[in-house]
Structure 1
């Protein structure tokens, strides 16, 4: 019985991690869609790097831990990775189970 309880506890822990990651991804996607809609005309005139720089500045203002409008360090970290340097955004895979 104890083994089954430990398995269930572990399964719930893994599920919590996945749900938290999904929540962060949902928040990030919502931020990006809103920012792209809000600044559509300006973004069409910017280069890819200028666009990423603008989105990073906006993300920092919203999500930074100290003084952000909606402090969320995990969302900011994901956006910083996604809006990294280079010709396109990096695709962030869904997190795998930690052992």
Structure 2
């Protein structure tokens, strides 16, 4: 039972992080829509990473969240797009 609860906690924490990251991306896209339209993909990633660091860094960010920052750094790395991160599919989530 403890193992199952521990695994569930990990999955819920990951889901919370994904939700926070997606919320950050949606807000940034809404706030900076016109700027982002004019930017190259690399400029967009750079700007979003900079804003993520200001918000989530552990040492003085507006709302420190190292997990969210790590996910954004990986997602916005070279070669990736600044798209909304998809939630994992499958499993029993969302079923009644």
TM-score range, shorter chain: 0.7 to 0.9
With normalisation by structure 1, the TM-score equals: 0.81
Instruction: Report the structure number with the largest CA radius of gyration.
Output: 1
Match in the other structure for 1:97: none
Aligned length: 87
Distance 1:64 1:87 in 2: 21
User: Structure 1: any 5+ residue segments left out of the alignment?
Assistant: 1-7, 95-99
Distance 1:87 1:77 in 2: 14
Distance 2:80 2:3 in 1: 40
Asked if 1:23 is matched to 2:16, the reply is yes
User: Structure 2: any 5+ residue segments left out of the alignment?
Assistant: 89-96
The structure in which a higher percent of residues are helix is 1
Asked if 1:55 is matched to 2:53, the reply is no
The structure showing larger relative contact order (alpha-carbon pairs under 8 Å, at least 6 residues apart) is 2
With normalisation by structure 2, the TM-score equals: 0.84
